[in-house]
Amino acid sequence: MLARREHSRAELIEKLDRRGYDPALVRTEVDALAAERLQSDERFAEAFLRSRMERGEGPVRIRYELVRRGVEESMIDGCMGPVADDWADVAERVWRRRFDGRCPDDLKERARQYRYLTQRGFSPEQIKSVWSANCGVEA
């Protein structure tokens, strides 16, 4: 499994448990893989973060997915910290791709754009930042 892509510890254990392997043996072997640095939650989180940023997902959604996959909050904070300044650019790229850079001209369109961007995982502050930088709109 690790030859195909990085997995979090919890994700790997869950997959092996579902396949019917002995739970005690699974945990022992996953610990051994982690000791040899063949499995690393930190490496998984960094790879996951990069791939999801490239797909245009925001920090709220990515954080949720990492927590769901069993990565510790402190590790998530550690890998998301260095890219904190990049979220505005990612949000703007997603907004431009989806809405062709068209500013919301009425409340209905503003709500539609807001809904789309929040579903992609961007915070209200990031959405307001995109609108104010490109449309001169104070949200």
Spatial contact of 70 and 11, defined as CB atoms under 8 Å apart? yes
Model pLDDT for residues 98-133, shown as the tens digit of each residue = 999 999 999 999 999 999 999 999 999 999 999 999
Spell out the domains of the chain, with CATH numbers in brackets. Answer: 1-39 (1.10.10), 86-135 (1.10.10)
* pTM, to two decimals: 0.87
Q: Which of 63, 62, 45, 64 is nearest to 53 (CA)?
A: 62
b/e burial code for range 5-28 (CB count within 10 A of at least 16 → b): ebbbbbbbbeebeeeeeeeeebee
Contact between residue 139 and residue 128 where contact means Cβ atoms under 8 Å apart: yes
pLDDT digits over 34-92, tens only? 999 999 999 999 999 999 999 999 999 999 999 999 999 999 999 999 998 899 999 99
Residue 39: closest CA among 83, 74, 4: 4
